[in-house]
Each structure stands twice: as structure tokens, then as C-alpha cells.
Amino acid sequence: MLNLKEVKQGIAQLAAEKGLPEDKIWEAVEVSMARAYKKEYLPKASIARATINQETGDVKFVKVLQVVDDTMVYVPAENEEEEPAKRDENDKRVRFNSERHIFFNEAKIINSSISLGEEIIIPLENKDNFSRIAAQVAKQTIVQQIKELEKQVLIQEYE
């Protein structure tokens, strides 16, 4: 759980100093938390998201999987790791990755109303302690997101 009083105060101060919308700064913090979680606890190919409850300070993490079928992905043969098979150049399918994709029939078991191309959200265990490297990733992400927001605000002012 975040120290909500300090975080809210810091976000309000940053928004006032830089002229940025607070909701966009909250989004940047959520993105940075998700990247730190992914760096620390998930495989590299995974997609993670974080949501922060601005009333309580609770942070929830989820893993996102895209629902696919054989028309969207291909499963490589066992020996393809060493030498990829030649595929038709018109074949637009991507390689199946269990960290990013879930097959339609498996997704139907979890959610019967899901359809192809949608995302399925899997809740993750909440963790509070991150390594120094994961914290650095979060900090760099926030800095990068704030710079992008500043650019967007500047462009909107000139328009």
C-alpha cells in the first residue's frame, strides 16, 4: 500500500509546477508500478498493468493475455528453436507466446463470453517490496512519462 498522503501531495505539487493534469500523472505512476512489478516478478514477455485506488492507496496488479486462435498465431515445432521453419511470406501470424497469448478454447473456460482478439485479465499477487533495480525502472519510467506529458502540453499550447 502506498503512503497516499505523500503521493497525493507530490502529484499535486508536480502538476502545479509543470502545468500537467493530475490524472495523467497518476497514469504515469501506474505504468511505472506495473513495469517495476514485471521487472521483479514476471517473465520479460509478460504484459502487466497496475491500478491504484486513489482513496485507499491500494495497488492491484494484473497480467494481460490476448485471446488468439490458429489464424492469429503459429506454434513452432519442437526443433524450430535451433532452426526456424520456412514460412510463407504472406503469413502474417505471430509466434505463440504463453506469456502474452491464450488460446480461445482455454479462455472460454475462464470467461464464457470472451471473443477472439479480446484481452483476458488475470489478477496477480500483490507485492510491496521491490529490488533496487525494479525501483530504478519505476523511477525512469515516471521521468520518461512526465517528459512526454510536458511535450504534449507544450504542443497543445502552441496549437
Residue 57 region by backbone torsions, left for phi larger than 0, else alpha for psi between -120 and 50, else beta: left
Kindly report the pTM of this predicted structure.
0.81
Q: Round the average pLDDT of the chain to a whole number and report it.
A: 88
Q: How far apart are CA 27 and CA 142, in angstroms?
A: 9
More confident residue, 80 or 4: 4
Is the CA virtual torsion 108, 111, 116, 121 positive or negative? negative
Q: How far apart are CA 50 and CA 80, in angstroms?
A: 35
pLDDT for 81 equals: 59
pLDDT at 82 over 70: no
The stretch 46-52 carries a mean pLDDT of 94
Q: What is the pLDDT of residues 2-24, one digit of tens each?
A: 677 888 899 999 999 988 899 99
pLDDT at 155 over 70: yes
The fraction of the chain above a pLDDT of 90, given in percent, is 53
The stretch 108-131 carries a mean pLDDT of 90
Nearest to 39 by CA among 123, 128, 138: 138
pLDDT for 93 equals: 86
